[in-house]
Amino acid sequence: MPIKIKVVLPTAFVRHTDGQKQFDSAATNLPGLIADIDQTFPALSTQIKDEGGKLRRFINIYVNDEDIRFLGGETYAFQDGDEVMLIPSIAGGCC
């Protein structure tokens, strides 16, 4: 059965998506989502990946509030209805 996930983007990215802050994807995992972005929003793709084609390390990816790395990263299989968020990493805390 095909699945549908919702992908949410920060404002900094929408200049590459014709102003869209979110879009739907049928990707089943993270590599699939990246491939989908390559196809649909090539400009966004070059922003979120480095010269070597890897996701930039300053991007965090969350699935329904959880860092995807805690879910298995690239091996995590998206579930129908998952909300996937791309957010630049930032710091805070004491020091």
Partner 1 sequence: MEYSCSAYELKCNECGRRFGNRPLSGCPDCLAPLEIVYDLEAARGTFTRQAIQAGPFNIWRYAALLPIPEGFQPDLPVGFTPLIRAKNLGKRIGATNLYVKNDAVCFPTLSFKDRVVSVALANAQKFGFDIVGCSSTGNLANSVAAQAARLGLKATILVPADLEPAKILNTQVYGARLVRIDGNYDHVNRLCTQIADEYAWGFVNVNLRPYYAEGSKTVGYEIAEQLGWRLPDNVVCPMAGGSLIRKIRKAFNELIYLGLVEDKPVRFFGAQATGCSPISQAVKQGLDYIEPQRPNTIARSLAIGNPADGPAAAKMILSTGGWAEDVSDIEIVSGMQELAETEGIFTETAGGVTTAVTARLYAHGRISPDDITVVCITGNGLKTTDAISGQYREERAVRPRIADFDEYLRELDASTEPELATAGASLAY
CA distance 39 to 58: 22
Three-state DSSP at 55 gives strand
Least distance from partner 1 to the Cβ atom of residue 62, Å: 7
Kindly list the residues in this chain that would bind partner 1 in the complex (CB under 8 A). 10-12, 47-48, 50, 56-60, 62, 65, 67, 69-70, 85, 87-95
Residue 3 or 14 having the CB closest to partner 1: 14
Least distance from partner 1 to the Cβ atom of residue 4, Å: 22
For the beta carbon of residue 59, count every other beta carbon within 10 angstroms: 15
Least distance from partner 1 to the Cβ atom of residue 2, Å: 29
CA triplet 65, 13, 64: central angle to 5 degrees? 10
For the beta carbon of residue 79, count every other beta carbon within 10 angstroms: 11
CA distance 35 to 31: 6
Least distance from partner 1 to the Cβ atom of residue 80, Å: 23
Residue 26 or 54 having the CB closest to partner 1: 54
Residue 67 or 80 having the CB closest to partner 1: 67
